[in-house]
Amino acid sequence: MGNGMERIWNFFENMNEYVYVADADTHELVYMNKKMRDTYGIHSKEELAGKKCYELLQNSSLPCTICNNDELQEGQFKEWRYFNPLLNKYFKIKDTVVENNGRRYRIEIALNISSQEHQKNVVRRYEKLEKIVNEGLRLALGTSSADKSLDIILEYIGKALDGERTYIFEHNENGYDDNTYEWVANGIQPEKDNLQNIPPEVCANWYRNFQEDKNIVIENLEDIREEDPEQYKNLKRQDIHSLVVVPLYWEKKIIGFYGVDNPPVKSLDYASNMLHIMGYFIVSSIRRRNLFHQLERMSYRDQLTQFGNRYAVDWFVEHEWNGEQIGVVYCDITGLKKVNDEQGHEAGDRLIIRACECLAGVFKGYGLYRIGGDEFLVLCLGIEEKDLREHVEKLRMDMKEHQVTMAVGMIWKEHGPKDIDLLLNESERLMYEDKDRYYKEHGLKRRR
C-alpha cells in the first residue's frame, strides 16, 4: 500500500465513526481506525495482518452473504443500514472502493445510530457535515491561488463551527511555530502578528499528543492550568476558553496544526471531525503554495549565482521601488570570454562565482542581479550617495583579493519619477567608460 493511501487512512484515525479498509478481492483487513480497533480489542494496526474482515467483524468462516464488494464503484458511496449482532448496535453505513497499485480496497464508514432517541439528530448531523465540507471545498477550489483557498476555507470553517477564530500554524526553519493564516469573527482581535516564532516549549505538550495520534480538545481552559502552564498563559492572553486543534501531516511528518477557538462546547466533537476531514485539503493547499513559491523563486533566480535575474529586476521596480533615492551599480567581468575560450566554461563559472562573492560581501542586504553572461547589477534602495561611493571603493579593493576584474559604473538618484531604464543606461555607459580606461592603462585591445 503506497504512502498516498496511508495518508488517507491517517485522516480517518481519530474520527468518531467506525472505519475499516479491506482488500476487496481477498477480504484481508489492511486498516481499522482507533474507534474500531478499541471496539474489537485490537491493540495495534499490526495485529490486523492476515485477518479477514468477515472473520473479525462477523465471526464467520466464510465471506458475508450481505457483502456488496461487487456492487461498489470508485468515486461513489453505497449507503445502507445494518444491525451488527456481535456489537448489538445499529449502523448507518457508507461503502466505496478505491484502486491503488492494481489492488481494490473496500472502505466502510459506519455511524452508530443505535440510540433511537438521538437517531434522527445524529444522522441529520452527519449528513449536514458532509454537505458543509463539500460546499467549503467547492468554494476554496474555485480560487486562483493556494493562499486564497486557505483564507476562504478558514473563514468557512470558522462560520460553520460558530467559532471566534480559525488559524493555521506551520513549523519554520528554526523549529519554531508561525501563525501563517487566520480568520476572525466580527469584533474579535486578530492574533496572527503576535504569534510568530512561538518557542517549542509552548506547544510541546500538544506535539506529544500529536505523536500519539491525538487531537487537542479543550472544553474549559482552566482544566490545563496546572498540567500545561506555558500553553495556559498563551491561550489565556488571547481570551480563549475552549478550542479544538488537529495536527497537519505530510509524509508521516507533522508540519504544523490548525484549529478553531471558542466554538460552542456542545460542538467540540463535531468540530474535531470537520477539522480532520478538511485537514487533507489544508495540507494539499500548503504544498501547492510551496510549489508555486519554489517555481516563482526559480523563475526570478539565476541558477548559477542565485542572484536575481532580469525578471527579478522588473519585479523590484514594480513592487519595491516607489521613486525614493536609489543607487545603481552596473558591473561587467573583464576577461570572462578569454577564460571560457582558453580554460573552459568551468573555469569561467568559477570566475563568475568569485565576482558574485565580491558583490555579495560588499552589498549585503541590497538587491543583487545577474542580467547577462558577464553583467551584474546592484540596486541599493535608500542608500546615501556618500555610502554608495564607499561601497564601490570597497568593491574595487575586494576584487583584488578575489582575483577578479570588473568594470564598474555607478549612479545615484534622489527622489523623483521612476525611470529605471534611464538609470540602467547611464550606469552602463559609465561602466563602459571604466572598461575603456582599464584596457588603455594595460595596453590591451578591447574585445567587441
- Regarding whether 333 and 416 lie in a shared domain, the answer is yes
Band (448; pLDDT cuts 50, 70, 90): very low
Cβ neighbours of residue 23 under 8 Å, at least 6 residues apart? 30, 103, 104, 105, 106
Residue 235 lies in a domain: yes
Q: What is the pTM of this model?
A: 0.49
Residues 78 and 167 in one domain: no
* Amino acid residing at 231: Q
Beta-strand relationship, 29-32 and 18-23: antiparallel
pLDDT digits (tens, 9 = 90+) for 170-217: 999 888 999 999 999 989 999 999 999 999 999 999 999 999 889 999
Residues 78, 152, single domain; the answer is no
Over the chain, what is the mean pLDDT? 87
Instruction: Kindly report the length of the chain.
Output: 448
Domain hosting residue 361, numbered range: 310-441
Residue 303 counted as domain residue: no
Give the end of a domain, one of 75, 96, 114.
Answer: 114
Residues 291 and 169 in one domain: yes
Q: How confident is the model at residue 273 (pLDDT cuts 50, 70, 90)?
A: confident
Q: Is residue 14 part of a domain?
A: yes
Domain end, chosen from 269, 297, 325, is at: 297
Tell me: do 82 and 127 sit in the same domain.
no
Highest mean pLDDT among 77-81, 170-174, 235-239, 309-313: 235-239
Count of domains observed in the chain: 3
263: closest CA among 278, 245, 281?
A: 245
Residue 304 resides in a domain: no
- 96: β partners: 107
Give mean pLDDT, residues 272-277. 86
Question: The domain spanning residue 174 has which CATH number?
Answer: 3.30.450.40
Three-state secondary structure along 360-428?
Answer: HHHCCCCEEEECCCCEEEEEEECCCHHHHHHHHHHHHHHHHHCCCCEEEEEEEECCCCCCHHHHHHHHH
- The per-residue pLDDT for range 144-162, each reduced to its tens digit, is 678 888 888 898 889 888 8
Same domain, 200 and 293: yes
> How far is residue 331 from each of residues 103, 137, 209, 314, 399, measured CA to CA in Å?
61, 51, 56, 18, 12
> 157 and 278 share a domain?
yes
> Residue 188's pLDDT is what?
93
Residue 233 has pLDDT above 80, yes or no: yes
- The per-residue pLDDT for range 390-445, each reduced to its tens digit, is 999 999 999 988 889 999 999 999 876 678 888 999 999 999 999 988 888 877 76
Is residue 314 situated within a structural domain?
Answer: yes
Of 114, 130, 152, the position where a domain reaches its end is 114
Question: Is residue 7 pLDDT above 50, yes or no?
Answer: yes
Name the nearest CA neighbour of 32 among 93, 132, 96, 109.
Answer: 109
**Res. 119: pLDDT tops 60:** no
Residue 253 backbone dihedrals phi, psi, to 5 degrees: -115, 135
Question: pLDDT value at position 127?
Answer: 58
For 57, 372, 406, the CA distances from 339, given in Å and listed in that order, are 75, 16, 14
Do 137 and 15 fall within a single domain? Answer: no
| Residue 86's CATH number | 3.30.450.20
Do 169 and 252 lie in one domain? The reply is yes
Residue 341 dihedral angles phi and psi, to the nearest 5°: -70, -40
Q: Does residue 429 lie in a domain region?
A: yes
Lowest mean pLDDT among 79-83, 84-88, 375-379: 84-88
For residue 256, is it within any domain? yes
Q: Is residue 305 in a domain?
A: no
Q: How confident is the model at residue 113 (pLDDT cuts 50, 70, 90)?
A: confident
First vs last C-alpha separation in the chain? 63
Kindly state whether residues 72 and 197 are assigned to the same domain: no
**Same domain for 274 and 161:** yes
Q: Are residues 376 and 275 in the same domain?
A: no
Residue 117's pLDDT band (cuts 50, 70, 90): very low
Q: pLDDT band for position 231 (50/70/90)?
A: very high
